[in-house]
Amino acid sequence: MRQLLERIDREILTGGGKRSRSRAAVIERFFLERHHVTIEELTRSVRESAPRVGAVTVYRTLKLLERLGYAKELDFGEGAKRYESNLASHHDHLVCRKCGTVIEFENRDIEKLQERVTRRHGFQPTSHRLEIYGFCRKCAPGKAAEEVRCPR
């Protein structure tokens, strides 16, 4: 952890940036988070230990971490984006539409097939997103309130 923070600090320095307490607070909290967090959630968390940090700094710091390759931006269609550490290996997500639980999975076969698809189209892939929406074990009762068709 210490190692990581120092390494990021060094990268920022190298890039012409300066150290900052607020940013350090955001970065530390971010990597302590267990789940995929929104800016709002992370801001609340940061303020427990550094109450004066503004949400704008959280926005800026996460964009920075993303540019440096340490964070990943996610969008589960909730309105606000979520972020996760990009230190672990690549994975995709199962998102429960009822309770919001997110299950992570990794499937090399799917990734292989994706590569084949892109090759077939002369497409040079740089990233992808695969999200499967539905109901998790807890939230999948016999019949969920599925398709209610109504014009309004």
Partner DNA sequence: ATGATGATGAAATTCAATTTCATAATATTC
Partner DNA sequence: GAATATTATGAAATTGAATTTCATCATCAT
CA–CA dist 94, 106 (Å, integer): 11
Confirm or deny that 35 is annotated as ligand binding.
no
Q: Per rule CB under 7 A, is residue 152 in the interface with DNA?
A: yes
Contact status, residue 50 vs residue 57, Cβ threshold 8 Å: no
22 binds Zn ion (CB under 5 A): no
Site for DNA (CB under 7 A): how many residues? Answer: 28
Give the CA radius of gyration of the chain: 19
Residue written as tokens 């499937």?
Answer: 107
Write phi, then psi, for 44 (nearest 5 degrees).
-60, -45
Which listed range, 79-87, 107-115, 118-126, 130-138, lies at the site for DNA (CB under 7 A)? 79-87
Q: Using CB under 5 A, which of 12, 50, 102, 139 touches Zn ion?
A: 139
Name the segment binding Mn ion (CB under 5 A); options: 17-25, 104-112, 117-125, 126-134: 104-112
Residues 63, 84: contact at Cβ < 8 Å? Answer: no
In the complex, the residues that contact Zn ion under the rule CB under 5 A are: 96, 98-99, 101, 136, 139
